[in-house]
Structures are given as C-alpha cells and as structure tokens.
Amino acid sequence: MRLSINKRFAIGGDFEFKIEDIKKKDKQETLLNGQKGTWSASGRSALAKILKHLKDIGIQEILLPSFLCESILQPVKKLGFRYSFYPVTKSLIAQPEPKPRTAVLVIHYFGWINPSTCNLRSEQIDGFYLIEDASQAALSNWSFANSANRFVVLSPRKFGPLPFGGWCNIVTMAEKPSHAIECLAWRSIAARLAKSTYLTEHGLPVDNKIEEFYLSAFMAVEAYLNNHPTDSGIPQIILDIMDGLDWAEIGKRRRANWQYLHELLSKFVEPLMTDLPTDVVPLGYVIRLAYRDKVRKALAARRIFCPVHWPLPTEITKSRFPNAVKLSETSLTLPIDQRYGPEDMAYMAKAVEDVL
C-alpha cells in the first residue's frame, strides 16, 4: 500500500515510456481487427479523412451524439459540414434518427460497443453513412463486414505511450508528417522517458519542475492537434513504437484491473458499466458521483489523476439533452491501465472510499 502522497508515484496521467516495453510483437494486428485502412496523426485527423471522402460524394451534413468530446467538432467545422446533435440515454445508447444523404457518428463509449450499432449497421436508408468512433474502444472487438456506407475511426493514444496516432478504414496514400509534428513527437517521447525515470525514484519527494517539464510537452501536442485537426502525417517513430507494444497483454491487464476494482468498489459507488463482456477492453472504470469535482480534487491530492469525460460543447444544453449534461457533470473515469496492478487498484479503491 502507498505510504506517502508526497513521494514520486502517480496513478493516471499521460503514459510514460520505457524502452523495454518495445518488444516488436503485435505489429498492429490486435488494434486493427484485420481491417485495411490508413494511419494518421490523430483520431480527429482520421475522422477528417472520412469527412473529406463523404464531402467528395456530396454528403454535407452529420448527426453527432450529444455526449461527445469537443475535439470531434474540430474537423467537422474545419471542413464546413452542417451538424446537429441527437440524444443519448443515461446508459449511453445512441438515439439518432438517420436521414437520407447524411452521416451519423456513433461513439463506442469507454470500450463498450454502443448497443444501437447493430440496428444502425443494417439501416437501409438511401444515402445514409455510419461512422463508428472506436477511439475509446481501440482494443475491443469493433470489427464488421466491409461496406461502402460504414466507416470506423480509432486512436490508440489513450491506450499506450503514443503522442500521435489515428486510423480510419479508408485506404489512401499516407501523407508525410509536418516538421512540427516530427519535432513534437520526439519532444513527447523524451518527456515520456523522463517521466518513466522520475517515477522509478519512489523514495524521493515530488519535484514540480520535472513534472512541469513533461506535462508541458504533453500539452504542446494537444494544443497542436486542437489547432491543426486535419493534419494527418504520422512520424515513423510512432508507428515503430505502436508495432512494438504488446497490445494483447495490454488488453488483458486492463480487463483484470477493471474486474478487481469493480469487486472492491461496486458496493460503494455507482458504476456506469456493471459488467465486462469478453470482447471489451475498457478505457477506465467509470463511476457516477453527485460531487464529482470535489472527489476528483481529493483524489489528485493523493496522486490519483482522473480524466473527466467530457466537458461538452456550449450547444449541448440541459433543457435539450439532460442525459448528456448529467453524464458530463457526474462521470469520473478511474485509471485501470496496464501500468498498474492489484496493489494500485486497492490503493485507489481505499482512496475513493476515504473521500466519499
């Protein structure tokens, strides 16, 4: 069990990078489920590739879920698409009403395939195109039979030490990465190596200058992607790291951590997902809390850093989309990724109980 909150350890936050993690094993097969497509710089640039294709065939409108990350809007706006939002239930079921000559984007939330997907895949409306966002379900079984009307976008960035990386099932010529992306990639890798070394020195106190160094590198990547959502070139070093990660083992460890944390916490909190299907690799363990922000701050004081999914675009209002707003205001994602084991899950469970 962790003894001091002033020592150099952390649960959550951007992935550190260890050279020994690169084993040249999976070569992306686990990620791509046998599908053909094209790698790009990020999930949003992969989505931009799909949108450009749709625009070329005359599609100019897209229906988006009301519970979404605002970054999805970046390529939509950049490419001049008309867009509107549709409801999502409190259990994350998408409820779009497809129309002819439109695209519908469905998100596979937190690793679980959206329950509405089966019906939407079989939809027969003329000129209807389905885009499945599997960025949070990159290691789950999102595959489906190829179809001219069905598209998938994913990003492994939330599952490993990758500053860049997005993919879609459109086969195109890969673009050369910009000089800015190349520089940011190497800066981020250096920062991840520094973070890894820093966190191995468990007995030393927290050093704010070192933490600011690697956090600023991570933030620089996000700032670039926010400002250049359609830039798609991906550096070769990122593909090499991606090839070398043991994605199958990553999936196993995430599932084991989710199951153990569920055993420890499910009686004390309201989990958003209550079971773990065999084909799901979870992004995190998501709980619902009335005082989410207060709990999140208290956990951060214990060096447990939990992301929030998501702050919503201003167009999403409580009067129109009450379920989406409530999800945004109450959901907290506890980290369960492959960096951690049972001891870390037990520490986090105890911390959650203490601050509730």
Answer yes or no: is pLDDT of 24 > 70: no
- Read off the pLDDT of each residue in 316-330 and give the average, rounded to a whole number: 98
Section 36-62 average pLDDT: 96
What local confidence, expressed as pLDDT, does residue 23 receive? 67
Ranking 143-147, 166-170, 215-219, 267-271 by mean pLDDT, the lowest is 143-147
Packing angle of the helix pair 247-265, 342-355 (nearest 10 deg) = 40
Strand partners for 94: 88
pLDDT tens per residue across span 175-192: 999 999 999 999 999 999
Cβ–Cβ under 8 Å, residues 41 and 226? no
pLDDT at position 123, please?
81
pLDDT score, position 295: 97
Q: With 50 as the cut, is the pLDDT of residue 71 above it?
A: yes
Q: What percent of the chain has pLDDT over 70?
A: 96
Query: Which position has the higher pLDDT, 89 or 201?
Result: 89
pLDDT of residue 3: 46
Query: For 236-250, how does the pLDDT look when each residue is reduced to its tens digit (9 = 90+)?
Result: 999 999 988 989 999
Q: How high is the pLDDT of residue 5? A: 63
| pLDDT of amino acid 1 | 46
Asked whether the CA dihedral 286, 289, 292, 297 is positive or negative, the reply is negative
Q: Could you tell me whether strands 285-288 and 82-86 are parallel, antiparallel, or unpaired per DSSP bridges?
A: unpaired
pLDDT attached to residue 18 = 86
> pTM (2 decimals)?
0.95
CA 347, CA 311: separation in Å to the nearest integer? Answer: 27
Question: 274 phi and psi, to 5 degrees?
Answer: -110, -5
| pLDDT tens, position by position, 262-310 | 999 999 999 999 999 999 999 999 999 999 999 999 999 999 999 999 9
The per-residue pLDDT of the chain, averaged, comes to: 93
Strand order in the sheet with 270-271: 270-271, 285-288, 331-334
As a three-state string, the secondary structure of the chain is: CCCCCCECCCEECCCCCCHHHCCCCCCCHHHHCCCCCEEECCHHHHHHHHHHHHHHCCCCEEEEECCCCHHHHHHHHHCCCEEEEECECCCCCECCCCCCCEEEEEECHHHCCCCCHHHHHCCCCCCEEEEEECHHHCCCCCCCCCCCCEEEEECCCCCCCCCCCEEECCCCCCCCCCHHHHHHHHHHHHHHHHHHHHHHCCCCECCHHHHHHHHHHHHHHHHHHHHCCCCCCCCHHHHHHHHHCCHHHHHHHHHHHHHHHHHHHCCCCEECCCCCCCCCCCCCEEEECCCHHHHHHHHHHCCEECCCCCCCCCCCCCCCCHHHHHHHHHEEEECCCCCCCHHHHHHHHHHHHHHC
Q: Please check the confidence at residue 26 and state whether its pLDDT lies above 80.
A: no
Q: Token match 């109450």: residue?
A: 330
Is the peptide bond preceding residue 142 cis, with omega within 30 degrees of 0? no
Give the pLDDT band of residue 29 (cuts 50, 70, 90): low
pLDDT tens by residue, 113-158:
999 998 998 887 878 999 999 999 999 999 877 788 999 999 999 9
